[in-house]
Amino acid sequence: MKNLVSLVRAGKSVEAAVRQAIDLAGGLKEIISADSRVLIKPNLCWPAPSGMGFTTDYRVTEAVAKIVLELGPKSVIIGEGSSAGWDFDSSHSTEEAFRVSGTAEVAKRLDVELRNLNRDAYEEVPVTDPYVMDTVRIARTALESDVIISVPVLKTHLRTLVTLSLKNMKGVMPGAEKRKTHQLGLDKAIADLNSVVRPSYVVVDALAGMQGLWEYPQDRFELGLIIAGADPVAVDTVGTYLAGFDPAQVMHLQYFAAREGKQADLSQVVVVGEPLEANRQRLRAGFDLFQSRYPEVSIIVGESVCTGCMGELLGALAAIKKFGDDQALINLTVILGSPNPDEIAARAKTVVLGKCAQNAAHLGKYVKGCPPLSDDMIRAICQVSGSDGELVITSRNEDRQRRWEETKSLLER
């Protein structure tokens, strides 16, 4: 049987668009009853105001929560555990992501509980017929939920090409478990994870997202759409196509579809609402842009690399390019992920980043952490280049402050 996926253009009211998208895709009445414990799972990978494209827009989360509450379920929780490495020290927390995105205000307005899933109790659950994870640790809140609504923001992704409803479920794993998925093979691990905590329904924030290297504002794009559907394979297939890619290229989608005996293919989907083809964009994938934006940098990436290290590195490189010495990035080599050190020739100006690359630490200036902090990367890169890292950090902080002031208006809409 073909699955319904709706595509609705958001006008002035995001809530109206979410309502229409959910109605067109069959509604939530079939899956939510008075006994249901509902988990709404936005993507709040780190603290960024709604509208920048990094995180799920609070207006989408709010509309979904209102619709769920109208059905009178037993309980509703908005839950998330931000990216790998978060919530392990005092400088990074999911609560900050709740607050900065505007989601904390939503929870307050609707009197719904917010839960940091990185700090939740968890259980180790066996995976039947696993690809790579025999067992997976899952936040108890997710396991105890009868209905999970995945509310991702549509973005391209360096490792998985796109991030949609299936990848969004990584937030229900406690922090250390997220890292394990990168070491074992991210795409297969996402398929294993979703076989244990499969989303019951999906509402995609495709209003504005991030492509390429996720550098703001140049990599932000606008689609202005809401996508909804009950089948995560069908919704992610449509979202992938809408982003300009072939669903056959998204391996976690293919692995998960195979697990469910389905095909992640448009021939299996009925799209209602806006026409698919007319709304399709050609988003840029991450690594395609890296060499063109940083031709002077050689990057050696091992299999386990994840957005934790890549994200911090891209932030560091952008800051050095903008505020640092012109020569700092020339002939720079960066090693990250889990490389084989025997296959890497030693070069003069090399930095080695993160716990995964510890075995290659002797090849350059090593920066510890999982992920290492962007500031420590800046210091290390500037040190091997003989330039002033502290100056870069100070200038970047001043610029960041100015940008936060500029983007406050996005939060106030």
- Interface with ligand SF4 by CB under 6 A: which range of 67-75, 237-245, 272-280, 302-310? 302-310
Judged by beta carbon, residue 32 or residue 336, the one nearer ligand SF4 is: 336
Interaction of residue 306 with ligand SF4, rule CB under 6 A: yes
Judged by beta carbon, residue 119 or residue 355, the one nearer ligand SF4 is: 355
Interaction of residue 315 with ligand SF4, rule CB under 6 A: no
Name which position in 132, 305, 382, 393 contacts ligand SF4 (CB under 6 A).
305
Interaction of residue 53 with ligand SF4, rule CB under 6 A: no
- Interface with ligand SF4 by CB under 6 A: which range of 158-166, 222-230, 279-287, 304-312? 304-312
Q: How far is the CB of 357 from ligand SF4 (least distance, A)?
A: 7
Judged by beta carbon, residue 179 or residue 259, the one nearer ligand SF4 is: 179
Judged by beta carbon, residue 239 or residue 311, the one nearer ligand SF4 is: 311
Do 17 and 8 form a contact (C-beta atoms < 8 A)?
A: yes
Interaction of residue 370 with ligand SF4, rule CB under 6 A: yes
Name which position in 51, 73, 339, 371 contacts ligand SF4 (CB under 6 A).
371
Name which position in 47, 85, 171, 199 contacts ligand SF4 (CB under 6 A).
85
Interaction of residue 314 with ligand SF4, rule CB under 6 A: no
Interaction of residue 381 with ligand SF4, rule CB under 6 A: no
The residues, any chain, with a CB within 8 Å of residue 250's CB and separated by 6 or more, are 160, 161, 162, 236, 240, 264
Interaction of residue 84 with ligand SF4, rule CB under 6 A: yes
Q: How far is the CB of 377 from ligand SF4 (least distance, A)?
A: 11
Interaction of residue 286 with ligand SF4, rule CB under 6 A: no
* Distance from C-alpha of 164 to C-alpha of 360, rounded to nearest angstrom: 33
Residues numbered 121-180 forming contacts with ligand SF4, rule: CB under 6 A: 179
Interaction of residue 182 with ligand SF4, rule CB under 6 A: yes
- Interface with ligand SF4 by CB under 6 A: which range of 26-34, 218-226, 350-358, 384-392? 350-358
* Distance from C-alpha of 60 to C-alpha of 365, rounded to nearest angstrom: 44
Judged by beta carbon, residue 85 or residue 389, the one nearer ligand SF4 is: 85
- The β-bridge relationship of strands 297-301 and 269-273 is unpaired
Q: How far is the CB of 295 from ligand SF4 (least distance, A)?
A: 23
Q: How far is the CB of 334 from ligand SF4 (least distance, A)?
A: 12
Number of residues located near ligand SF4, criterion CB under 6 A: 16
Which stretches of the chain bind ligand SF4, using CB under 6 A?
84-85, 179, 182, 304-306, 308-309, 336-337, 354-356, 370-371
